[in-house]
Amino acid sequence: MFVIVGLGNPGPEHAAQRHNVGFMAVDVIHARHGFQPWRRRFQGQTAEGTLAGVKTLLLKPQTYMNLSGASVGEATKFYKVPPEDILVIHDEVDLAPGKIRMKAGGGSAGHNGLRSISGAIGDNYRRLRLGIGHPGVKEMVPIHVLHDFHKADRDWLVPLLDAIADNAALLAGGKDAAFASRVHEQLAPARPKTEKPKPDKALPPKPESPSEPSTAAKPPEGSLARGLKRWLGRKE
């Protein structure tokens, strides 16, 4: 069993907030890969399906972000899933909007959802960090993450979520580096095509000078002829 946990806060008032980008990513994976309908279990919303032939559980804790570990701990204990088969998708203010980073293990870096999960199952789970940008002032971070995405953010947010869903099978196979590489390639701006200059067909071909013999008519000079020239040159 592979478990993908998307972090966020329940309720329509939080649905479009930056803190809920983990929920958004899991929702797109759910729709793209034909998972079963959502149902309430383990203090969260769950859906079962497969990715690359691997049985997969999607989980959106409904305990609010700061208590996410209660839901994750209950689900993973029931299925006896080791930490290396658990992936948590969450927002990251220390990454530029639209950037991603894969990480296995480590601390919570001040993220309350991760801190709660680590308290329930330890630190050795995998993380997919989704950049939402930093407000520039530490004291503004709580307001920033609990604010809705702007309309202009759709330009990078929608392609990002699509790229994550498109390549989710690599996560189920434990190929985190390949996943990150594919997502980066998919999000990279297209390079402009450079066309080779075409010859100007309006100009007629340059005529050959009548006073000069055409070089095309000369037979290729063989090694014997070159040797004679060198020999005659020394005699003169």
The catalytic residues are: 19
What is the spatial distance between Cα 124 and Cα 189, in angstroms, rounded to a whole number?
Answer: 34
Interhelix angle 176-187/154-166, rounded to 10 degrees, is 140
Residues ≥6 apart with Cβ < 8 Å to 230 = none
Instruction: Kindly state the greatest CA–CA separation across the chain.
Output: 104
Radius of gyration of the chain (CA): 31
User: Residue 105, by phi and psi: left (phi above 0), alpha (psi -120 to 50) or beta?
Assistant: left
What is the spatial distance between Cα 59 and Cα 4, in angstroms, rounded to a whole number?
Answer: 6
What is the spatial distance between Cα 117 and Cα 101, in angstroms, rounded to a whole number?
Answer: 19
Residue by residue, DSSP assigns 138-169 as GGGHHHHHTSBPPGGGHHHHHHHHHHHHHTHH
Answer for the pair 3, 81: CB distance below 8 angstroms, yes or no: yes
* 155, β-bridge pairs: none
First CA to last CA distance, the chain? 92
